Amino acid sequence: MVQDFFLFDIGDDMTETSVLSTRSILLIISGGIAAYKSLELIRLFRKTGTYVRVILTKGGEQFVTPLSVSALSEHPVYTDLWSLKDESEMGHIRLSREADLIIVAPASANLIAKMANGITDDLASTTLLASNKPIMISPAMNPEMWAKPSTQRNLEILKQDGIHIIAPNVGDMACGETGTGRMPEATELFKAAEDFFLNNQPLAAKTAIVTSGPTYEPIDPVRFIGNRSSGKQGHAIAAELAKQGVNVTLVTGPVSIPAPHGVKTIAIETAEDMKLAVTNALPADIFVGAAAVADWRVETPSVQKMKKRVGQTAPELKFTENPDILATVSTHPNRPSLVIGFAAETEDVLNYARAKLVKKGCDWIVANQVGKDANPVFGADDNQVTLITRTTTENWPSASKTDVAKMLVNKIVEDLKDEQQQLSRSTAK
Ligand code: PMT
C-alpha cells in the first residue's frame, strides 16, 4: 500500500548545499527504537535538497508513523510489496533504480539476516535484492543480538557482498543495557552518506563551465534573432557533471526547461553576455560549449520598435560578428585543462567539425548533424554524436541527451584521471 499523505510545512528552508544536493537516496527504515533518528536524517537530507524516497517495513511502522515519514520526505511512503498501486506507480525495481544510494537505517538483525541470505518476503528485502545500486546499512540492535555469531556471520557476508556497513556506537541502549548496538546520530549518518559520494566521485573538487541553449540577438526592443536550441543537451551535461561532484556553472540562453539541480545557473540573452559570464566564471578545470551561439548580431539594434509604414521598403539589417566564446576560452590565460566544443552541421559533418576543432583551438569537438525535419536534434530528446579529439574519432549510437551527457562525462572522467594525457596536451599548445 502506498501511504499518500500530503505536504506539511517542515519549517526549514532548503538552503544548505552538499555533495548530496544532487543525489537521490532510497532510505529503508526497519524495526528498531532508533527509527526515530531516521526522521531527523530525512530532515537533514531535505534541508540540502537531497531527493529522498522511503520504504518503511512492518517493524519500522511500529516505531515511526508513515505520516511523519511522508511529511518529512515530501513523498508517499512505500510499505507493501503486493500493493497494485505501488507496483504500478513505483515498483521495487524502479524504487531501487532511481536511487544513487540505498541506506538502511536502522538495519535490524532480522533484515540483515534476510539480506545475507537472499530472502525476499517484503518490499524492503525484495528491493534490496533487486538493487543494482550501492547499499549502506546502519545496524542497530541490543548488544547481545549484535554480538551473536549469527549476526556477525551475516555482517561478514554482507561485507564480502560489497555492502557498506556503518559500525554501531557503544553506549546505553533503550532497553536499559549498555554495549555495542546504538545507531549513530542522524548527523553521523548524513556525514557517512556525504563521505560515500565524496570518496566515490572521481571529479569531486573539479570545476566546470557549461554553456547551453540559444542566444537572442536583438533587432529592436521586441524582436530578436534566435535559434531552435532548447538547452536539453547542455543542461543534461551540466547535470551529469554535478552528479560526479563537479562544481558547475551553467551559462544558459533563454530556455523553457528547468535549471538542473545543484548547479549554479546564470541566465543570459546575447552572445556578448554569454562571453562575459563565461570569462567571469574562469578559472575552471573543464569547459563545455553546448550553446548554439549566434555568429552574428545586428550591429545597431533599433532603440524603438521598428515600424512598418505604408509604401516603405523592407528594412535592411547590418550584421557584425559576435565574439567566439569557445575560441576565447581556448586561448584564455586561465584556459581550462579540457575544452570541449560542439559542432552543429547540416552536411559534411565530420570534416567541418574537425576544421572547427583546429580553428577554435579546443581539445574535443562533439559533432552532431542537425536539420529541421528528419534529424532535428534541436529541441529533440535524443542525439547521435561523434566525439572527435586531436587523435581519435568515435561514433556514438543514437541515445537520449541524458545518456549522451553520461557518455561524455565518463570520457571526461577517464581523461582527467590520465595526468600524462593532460601534460601532453598542455605542452602541445
Ligand atoms: O539545445 P538542444 O535543443 O538540446 O540542441 C543541442 C544542440 C544542437 C544545440 C547542441 O548539441 C549543439 O550542437 N550545440 C552547438 C551549436 C552550435 O552553435 O554549433 P556551431 O557549430 O555553430 O558552433 C561550434 C562551437 O562554437 C559550439 O561549441 C558553440 O557553442 C561555439 N560558438 C559558436 C559561435 C560563437 N560565437 N561562439 C561560440 O562559442
Quick check: CB of 109 below 6 Å from ligand 1?
no
The three-class DSSP label of residue 276 is helix
Residue 189 CA, ligand 1 centroid: distance in Å: 43
Asked if 156 and 171 touch (Cβ cutoff 8 Å), the reply is no
CB count in 10 Å sphere of residue 392: 8
Q: Which atom of ligand 1 is nearest to the CA of 291?
A: 30
CA distances from 62 to 13, 42, 65 (A): 30, 18, 7
Q: Which of 279, 326, 396 is the pocket-test mutation for ligand 1 (most atoms within 8 Å of CB)? A: 326
Q: Is the CB of 76 under 6 A from ligand 1?
A: no
Please name the amino acid found at residue 123: L
- Cβ atoms of 46 and 72 within 8 Å: the answer is yes
C-alpha–C-alpha distance, residues 230 and 129, integer Å: 39
Q: How much is the pLDDT for 89?
A: 55
Where are the extended beta strands (E) located within 286-396? 286-289, 296-298, 319-321, 338-345, 364-369, 382-383, 385-388, 393-395
Q: How many helices (H) and strands (E) does the chain have?
A: 16, 23
pLDDT in tens, 285-310: 999 999 999 999 999 999 999 988 88
Name the DSSP letter for residue 348.
S
Q: What is the pLDDT of residues 111-128, one digit of tens each?
A: 999 999 999 999 999 999
Question: Using the 8-state DSSP alphabet, how is residue 275 labeled?
Answer: H
Query: Is 175 annotated as catalytic?
Result: yes
Q: Which three cell numbers stand for residue 285?
A: 578545470
> Does the Cβ of 50 fall within 6 Å of ligand 1?
no
β-sheet bridge partners, residue 212:
252
295 lines ligand 1 (CB under 6 A): yes
CA distance to 67, 82, 335, 351, per residue, from 1 (Å) = 13, 7, 55, 57
**Domains of the chain (ranges, CATH numbers):** 22-198 (3.40.50.1950), 207-301+316-428 (3.40.50.10300)
Closest listed residue to residue 95, CA positions, set 177, 28, 5: 28
Dihedral sign, Cα of residue 229, residue 235, residue 240, residue 245: positive
For residue 341, the CA-to-ligand 1 centroid distance in Å is: 7
Q: Which DSSP category does 21 fall into?
A: G
Residue type (1 letter), 282: L
Residues 6+ apart with CB under 8 A from 308: none
Task: Give percent of the chain with pLDDT exceeding 70.
Answer: 91
pLDDT value of residue 424 = 66
Helices (H), ranges, 161-297: 186-200, 232-243, 271-281
Long-range Cβ contact pairs of 345-348 (< 8 A, separation 24 or more): 345/369, 345/370, 346/370, 346/371
Euclidean distance between CA atoms 201 and 189, whole angstroms: 18
**Whole-number pLDDT of residue 275:** 98
**Cβ 270 under 6 angstroms from ligand 1:** no
Q: Report how far residue 233's alpha carbon sits from residue 86's, in angstroms, rounded to the nearest whole number.
A: 32
Q: Can you tell me which atom of ligand 1 is nearest the CA of 379?
A: 3
Does ligand 1 lie within 6 Å of residue 233's CB atom?
yes
Which residue, judged by its Cα, is nearest atom 5 of ligand 1?
378
d(CA 339, CA 361): 9
Question: Residue 229: CB within 6 Å of ligand 1?
Answer: yes
295 CA distance to ligand 1 middle (Å): 10
Q: Which atom of ligand 1 is nearest to the CA of 271?
A: 36
Catalytic residue among 14, 67, 175, 355: 175
Helices 186-200, 35-47: axis angle to 10 degrees equals 50
SS3 325: helix
Residues of the chain with pLDDT under 50: 1-14, 87-88
For ligand 1, whether the C-beta of 386 sits within 6 Å is no
216 alpha carbon to ligand 1 midpoint, in Å?
13
183: Cβ contacts below 8 Å, ≥ 6 apart: 32, 34, 37, 105, 106, 138, 139, 140, 168, 169, 189
- Distance from the alpha carbon of residue 387 to the mean position of ligand 1, in angstroms: 14
Q: Whose CA is nearest to atom 35 of ligand 1?
A: 324
Compute the distance from residue 290 Cα to the ligand 1 centre, in Å.
5
For atom 18 of ligand 1, which residue has the closest CA? 292
Q: Would you say the CB of residue 364 lies under 6 angstroms from ligand 1?
A: no
